[in-house]
Chain A
Amino acid sequence: MSDAAVEIEYLRKRYGRFEALGGVSLTVPKGSVFGLLGPNGAGKSTLVKSLLTIIRPTECRGTLLGAPIGDRKTLRRVGYLPEQARFPEYLTGRQVISYSGQLTGVSNSEIKSRMDGLLSLVGMQGWADKAVSTYSKGMRQRIGLAQAMINTPDLIFLDEPTDGVDPEGRIDIRRMIDTMKAAGQTVFVNSHLLSEVEQVADYVAILARGQVIRSAPMSELTRGGQRYVIRSSGPVPPFVREKLEQNGIKVAGDTVTLETDNVSTVQPVIDALRTANVLIREIREEKPSLEDIFLEAVKGQGREAA
């Protein structure tokens, strides 16, 4: 039994001469929150839609929950919130969820028993019996999330889930993702909002121009490039500065920067500064943000239109 919820060996999608996905290879571990990042037009939605048979890939090898990608029966165990989800305006939120459940093969009694819990989870109890046409963008996303969860999927795809949602709604969606993860579900989040993904994802892949250019656990991605920054009250005296620079430490005005993830190497620097009666204002540990990693990764790849 594979430990991967999604295992793409090779995925290619061409539209005429344009190659939207050029031989993508990707693994999404079971029970993880996986963030797929990329600028607009990178092919993120195309990738998800290919996995869900909404788009017919030009070439595709791989598995989804252990079955070949494209196997319809497997989709019973999958949930999906599309980007800019559009539900029939004449349906109520409750009917949208119910309809989604029926299409997934969930029995009416199960739908009924899960309905209130889901509505409560997405904070839509008070609006469930109102027509979708009266909903705000955030409400539509909440109902979209609920319909994606009605079949208690093993794997759930969220395509730009926080797009157009207010800050409170974003926090709620992050909480929901945490809840799903705690329940053992695999969550695949597609987003161009790096800070959003940074807060929830265990694994991250960066997609640019139809190619995966980085893919690693979040902790591994942010480990490289760690540094410590010491700031003094006033410029570092020249004789201390000279000594530090001889040891390969960067000094600029009142800032001393050590490119290391080993905190013990910082101690002698503090000692040297204190011995020279330099007052230390601040010591901080800096890790590269996902934004730094993303920008670094897409550098040289060319930027797609934002």
Chain B
Amino acid sequence: MNVFLAILGESLRLLRARWLFWVTLCISALVALIYLSVGFDEQGVTFAFGASHIKSELLVKGSPGAELLYTMIFSKYLVGIWLTLATLILGLISCGPIFPEFMLEGSAGVTLSKPISRWALFIYKFVGGLLFVAIQTLLFTVIIFIAIRWRIGIWNYSVFWSIPIVLTVFSYLFSVQVLIGVLTRSVMVSILVTILLWFMSWIVTLSEDTMYHFVHDKDNGSQLAMDPSQENQWQKWYQMVKFMHMITPKVSQTSALLNQKVVMSNGRNSSLGDYIKMNGKNSELGDAIKEAEVPRFSMEYIIGTSLGIELLILAFAGWKFSRRDF
């Protein structure tokens, strides 16, 4: 346990020494403060702590619309853009050197000559790397938690789901980065390959979704006219893409789980479809959006298959690390 704490402490010092860590932390705090600056009063929405004002009957203080909008800004936009995109990229850049630098001549020797198994060392250093995102997300979420209490008047504990979910997403990517780092000892290559895999994961998810609707949505007329042999061929292609999807870490889909997990005081999640319906202008569109928002895959499938792949990647990286001469 002492060894684990020592390595964790050292990882923390490493992060503290990186200017990018502090820059990210400051931006996280700033983004959360901007969120906090949005409020509601008896006439509508206020911005910049009341400096600017937009009138809206739907979004008056204490209304369900205000709660829906405020929760949705967090779960859809702040998490989607800041936490699961910008923070992750900055996390990958900051944590990229952890393994390559450790494996430099003269650096690994001191640690590896200690009575600690290489597997334990590998896992501890991996966990240490996750600290970057854990700290950033924790700070961000705490401010959001306080902001929701201040603006909406409820303690919304479900926002803390963002910590394990963002951490899980980062762990998928970091495992790839660690593997590449162990294999090549190059920081730059490990960052680039990880971002490439991230992009590929997005392409695979998009392809699977598009092909699914193309092949299965016969009733709503989206399927093109195909003869049975063509349809069979498309089914084969879809099965192939589906398999690819299964063995790819589902970065965007795991992030999107936060939409389900962050709920409002009525126990429902914040849906854009609900918001449109609440406006009462386009009920059909609202229903369509709500339907599209329902994920086709269960949380267990999305996280289970992704973690399974992550485990395989880590096992291979750990095996290479444990057998390498330094």
Contact = CB atoms under 8 A, between A and B. Distances in A.
B106 interface: yes
The majority secondary structure among interface residues of chain B is helix
B112 A54 contact: yes
Interface residues of B, number: 28
Interface string A84-106: 11111111000100011011110
B109 A105 contact: no
Contacts of B236: none
Given A55-B326, A105-B115, A83 B106 contact: yes
Interface residues on A, range: 35 or more
A88 B115 contact: no
Contacts of B325: 15, 49, 54-56
Contact of B323 (A15, A49, A56, A102): A56
Contacts, number: 86
A14 B106 CA distance: 21
B320 to A, nearest CB: 12
B106 A86 contact: yes
B298 interface: no
A157 B114 CA distance: 13
A95 B326 CA distance: 23
Given A55-B325, A88-B10, A90-B14, A73 B110 contact: no
A162 interface: no
A76 B2 CA distance: 14
A102 B3 contact: yes
B109 A104 contact: no
B240 interface: no
B17 A75 contact: no
Nearest to A105: B115
A90 B17 contact: yes
Interface string A49-74: 10011111000000000000000111
A75 B115 contact: yes
B107 A86 contact: yes
A78 B13 contact: no
A54 B108 contact: yes
A72 B3 CA distance: 14
24 contacts: A15-B325, A54-B108, A56-B323, A72-B116, A72-B117, A76-B115, A78-B113, A80-B109, A80-B113, A82-B106, A82-B113, A85-B110, A86-B105, A88-B13, A89-B17, A90-B16, A99-B10, A100-B110, A102-B2, A102-B6, A103-B7, A103-B114, A104-B114, A147-B110
Interface of A: 15, 49, 52-56, 72-76, 78, 80, 82-91, 95, 99-100, 102-105, 107-108, 144, 147, 157
Closest 6 CB pairs of A and B: A90-B17, A102-B6, A82-B109, A86-B106, A103-B114, A52-B113
